[in-house]
């Protein structure tokens, strides 16, 4: 019971500290009572300065970036929500920083966290979010000839092109996708009936 009270006080302390020190960068902070060590911070697209503070401040020390998640809301004005999942091992805390993008770009944090290099490339490839100042922003999960970003809600389920191996050319051929199926004749006779 003491540990739970101590963790609640710890989170309340961090909530007050962050509101005071980062008031020009943070919109509002939510404390989740179910998960005592989680705090959700909403900000106004100045994610780099917030993460710089949270990583190098002695009271926070969020040295680990676990994940960068993206949620697509195609009918909203701010279409993409980006969630940064950071962890402080010293203080046993996990924060979620959320920001909404009006445009499809945001500043890269790959200079702060090395793991952000792969995560930002993944989100560029799948959602089309451009991380400027990224050292090597290129596709990693889809091939280089792929058109579009497959996790966007406006991307068709079947895609735009299909590929197959052509035995005559002995190579892989890209073709526009065709959904029509040929009329097929199925033989429903049992081959074992002829043996008797």
CATH of the domain at 142: 3.30.460.80
Summarised one tens digit per residue, pLDDT across range 82-100 is 999 999 998 888 888 888 8
Residue 98 near residue 82, CB atoms below 8 Å: yes
pLDDT at 67: 95
pTM for the whole thing? 0.73
Domain that holds residue 149: 2-192
Structural domains of the chain, count: 1
The two beta strands, 93-101 and 105-107, are unpaired
* Cβ neighbours around 65 below 10 Å, total: 20
Of residues 105 and 10, which shows the higher confidence score? 105
CA–CA separation, 122 and 149 (whole Å): 11
- What DSSP state is assigned to residue 194? G
| pLDDT for residue 66 is more than 60 | yes
Summarised one tens digit per residue, pLDDT across range 117-171 is 999 999 999 998 999 899 989 888 887 777 777 888 777 666 667 778 888 989 9
């Amino acid at each position: 019971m003491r540990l739970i009270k101590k963790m609640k006080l710890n989170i309340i302390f961090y909530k007050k500290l962050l509101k005071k020190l980062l008031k020009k960068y943070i919109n509002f902070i939510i404390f989740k009572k179910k998960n005592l060590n989680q705090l959700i911070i909403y900000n106004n697209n100045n994610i780099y300065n917030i993460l710089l503070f949270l990583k190098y401040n002695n009271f926070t020390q969020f040295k680990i970036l676990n994940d960068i998640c993206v949620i697509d809301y195609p009918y909203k004005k701010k279409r993409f929500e980006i969630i940064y999942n950071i962890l402080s091992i010293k203080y046993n805390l996990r924060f979620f920083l959320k920001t909404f993008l009006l445009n499809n770009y945001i500043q890269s944090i790959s200079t702060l966290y090395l793991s952000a290099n792969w995560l930002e490339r993944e989100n560029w490839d799948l959602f089309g979010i451009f991380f400027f100042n990224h050292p090597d922003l290129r596709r990693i999960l889809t091939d280089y000839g792929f058109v579009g970003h497959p996790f966007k809600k406006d991307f068709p389920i079947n895609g735009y092109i299909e590929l197959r191996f052509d035995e005559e050319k002995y190579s892989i051929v890209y073709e526009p996708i065709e959904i029509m199926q040929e009329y097929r004749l199925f033989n429903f006779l049992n081959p074992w009936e002829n043996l008797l």
